[in-house]
């Protein structure tokens, strides 16, 4: 995969019939949905069937499972993601015909034209922050448009075409596509090296965020000062005369939260301050990391004209996105959660929230439940880059169950497997380790390990998400599940 350069786009209504290759992907499906809602004839294909593909059919997108040149039909524009290879038969035919071929980010940018663009970027936290911002604006009556990398728990969809002037997008830095968007408000949740197979070095990766924050249409930058990488960027931007609003727990943050308390309900509360405004912010989702995400969303809301009270009230109605500390089942005294975390820092945040939930459960039940983490590494390159960090974070649960690597778009690298993470975790002191190579063996392995009171969390952005529902079926067969 290569870094992308921005391209000139036209209004989405002018692209003619549009065909999406890999339409069922988490990023692609949300954009395809909006083209259909706009009234543009929209089709899509993917290599396998999925819930997202079926959802697109319900809004008028004609879809196919498998790739074939016949699927292009009368398309004038073809949309691809960075995962699509040049030898894909549909892409090769589109290029042969001379059709307009856009990356997903260009197709999304075309939808944003004429709106107030809010682009939310960062190494991690951007999906939840985007979802919080979209929810806040919706609950405050602003009817925003949005495209999120994960579906909202309330609606089960990841995108909406609203009548308001704000268009909120999750902006992906992995391939530099975040530089494509017509952004008025740029949000940066953190800057911590990742995707080095594309960027090459941590310095080049950090420089990409500077390009994002100084894009030609950017008027405001909202940035986290609790993170060293984004704080350094904030200092640089201010030295350049840019308008920056900082957020976090740091005493010098413009939007600051303190007096944090975890709630028995699983949420969290804190005091949020900005200028002369101060008061409680209570969230239904757990963790300091979510207070940071909410602080970023709050800053966007204030820039778009929301009052303090309207912003914090609306944020309190956010209940989460799918695959972000999502409860899958609470059966036979065992809770199973699923989380998209795949970078060491994200995993640490998820495990910290899971540890607090485990301790709260033990206090309520009197049991001695354990925290069991089931981690599927994602990408061979990322595993190589962060194997020591993965090993270290896998010392945080009581038991670590490691799966083999989900390679996704990458070809295997000889010698790079999930066992590297196991070896690293052992070097860092984790003694309770289980390696399960086949993901389909994970549910049975976890069922064998788990006992009442335990909390299990599956971690990774690949197909480890199948494990929780399969495990729930096994737990339902336990005698404890039918006990009165």
- Per the annotation, where are the binding residues for ATP? 122-128
Cα 24 to Cα 5: distance, rounded to the nearest angstrom = 24
Cα 61 to Cα 55: distance, rounded to the nearest angstrom = 9
Q: Is 451 helix (H, G, I), strand (E, B) or coil?
A: coil
Q: Is 127 a catalytic residue?
A: yes
Catalytic option among 90, 170, 184, 192: 170
Cα 168 to Cα 130: distance, rounded to the nearest angstrom = 7
Cα 381 to Cα 174: distance, rounded to the nearest angstrom = 13
Determine the angle formed by the axes of helices 419-427 and 380-393, rounding to 10 degrees: 30
Cα 477 to Cα 448: distance, rounded to the nearest angstrom = 13
Cα 180 to Cα 27: distance, rounded to the nearest angstrom = 15
Residue 452 sits at φ, ψ, to 5 deg, of -55, 135
Q: Is 126 a catalytic residue?
A: yes
Whether residue 371 contacts residue 457, with contact meaning beta carbons closer than 8 Å, is answered with yes
Whether residue 393 contacts residue 386, with contact meaning beta carbons closer than 8 Å, is answered with no
- Strand 42-46 versus strand 62-65 pairing type: parallel
- Alpha carbon distances (Å) from 476 to 56, 323, 328, 334, 481: 32, 21, 12, 10, 5
Residue 430 sits at φ, ψ, to 5 deg, of -80, 120
Catalytic option among 43, 63, 90, 126: 126
Element (H, E) at 106: helix 104-112
Determine the straight-line distance between the first and last CA of the chain, rounded to whole angstroms. Answer: 55
Whether residue 108 contacts residue 86, with contact meaning beta carbons closer than 8 Å, is answered with no
Q: Is 249 a catalytic residue?
A: no
Q: Which residue ranges make up the annotated binding site?
A: 122-128
Q: Is 43 helix (H, G, I), strand (E, B) or coil?
A: strand
**Residue for token digits 């790739």?**
67
Residue 320 sits at φ, ψ, to 5 deg, of 120, 175
Number of residues that make up the chain? 484
Q: Which of 483, 377, 477 is nearest to 435 (CA)?
A: 377
CA angle 30, 33, 37 (to 5 degrees): 140
Cα 401 to Cα 167: distance, rounded to the nearest angstrom = 40
Catalytic residues: 126-127, 170
């Amino acid at each position: 995969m290569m870094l992308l350069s921005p391209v000139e786009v036209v209004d989405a209504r002018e692209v003619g019939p549009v065909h999406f290759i890999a339409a069922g992907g988490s990023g692609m499906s949300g954009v395809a949905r909006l083209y259909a809602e706009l009234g543009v004839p929209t089709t899509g294909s993917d290599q396998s069937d999925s819930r997202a593909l079926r959802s697109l059919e319900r809004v008028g997108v004609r879809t196919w499972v498998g790739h074939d040149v016949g699927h292009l039909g009368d398309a004038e524009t073809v949309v691809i993601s960075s995962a699509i290879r040049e030898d894909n038969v549909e892409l090769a035919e589109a290029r042969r015909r001379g059709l307009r071929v856009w990356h997903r980010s260009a197709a999304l940018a075309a939808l944003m034209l004429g709106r107030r663009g809010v682009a939310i970027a960062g190494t991690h936290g951007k999906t939840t922050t985007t979802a919080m911002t979209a929810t806040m604006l919706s609950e405050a009556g602003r009817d925003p448009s949005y495209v999120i990398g994960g579906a909202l728990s309330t609606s089960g969809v990841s995108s909406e075409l609203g009548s308001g002037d704000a268009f909120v997008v999750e902006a992906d830095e992995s391939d530099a596509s975040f530089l494509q968007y017509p952004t008025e408000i740029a949000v940066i949740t953190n800057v911590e090296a990742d995707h080095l197979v594309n960027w090459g070095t941590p310095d080049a990766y950090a420089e990409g965020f500077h390009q994002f924050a100084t894009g030609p249409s950017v008027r405001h930058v909202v940035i986290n000062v609790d993170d060293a990488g984004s704080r350094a960027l904030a200092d640089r931007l201010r030295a350049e005369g840019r308008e920056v609003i900082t957020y976090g727990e740091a005493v010098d943050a413009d939007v600051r939260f303190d007096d944090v308390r975890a709630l028995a309900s699983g949420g969290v509360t804190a005091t949020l301050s900005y200028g002369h405004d101060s008061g409680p912010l209570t969230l239904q989702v757990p963790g300091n990391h979510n207070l940071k995400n909410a602080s970023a969303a709050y800053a966007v809301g204030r820039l778009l004209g929301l009052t303090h009270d309207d912003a914090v009230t609306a944020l309190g109605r956010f209940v989460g996105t799918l695959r972000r500390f999502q409860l899958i089942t609470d059966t036979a005294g065992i809770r199973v959660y699923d989380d998209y975390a795949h970078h060491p820092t994200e995993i640490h945040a998820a495990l910290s929230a899971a540890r607090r939930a485990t301790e709260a459960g033990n206090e309520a039940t009197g049991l001695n439940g354990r925290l069991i983490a089931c981690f599927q590494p994602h990408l061979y390159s990322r595993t190589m880059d962060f194997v020591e960090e993965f090993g270290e974070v896998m010392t945080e649960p009581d038991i670590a169950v490691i799966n083999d690597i989900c390679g996704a778009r990458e070809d295997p690298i000889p010698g790079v497997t999930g066992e590297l993470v196991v070896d690293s975790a052992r070097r860092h002191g984790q003694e309770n380790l289980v390696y399960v190579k086949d993901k389909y063996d994970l549910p049975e392995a976890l069922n064998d390990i788990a006992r009442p009171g335990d909390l299990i969390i599956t971690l990774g952005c690949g197909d480890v998400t199948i494990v929780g529902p399969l495990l729930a079926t096994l737990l339902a067969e336990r005698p404890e599940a039918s006990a009165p």
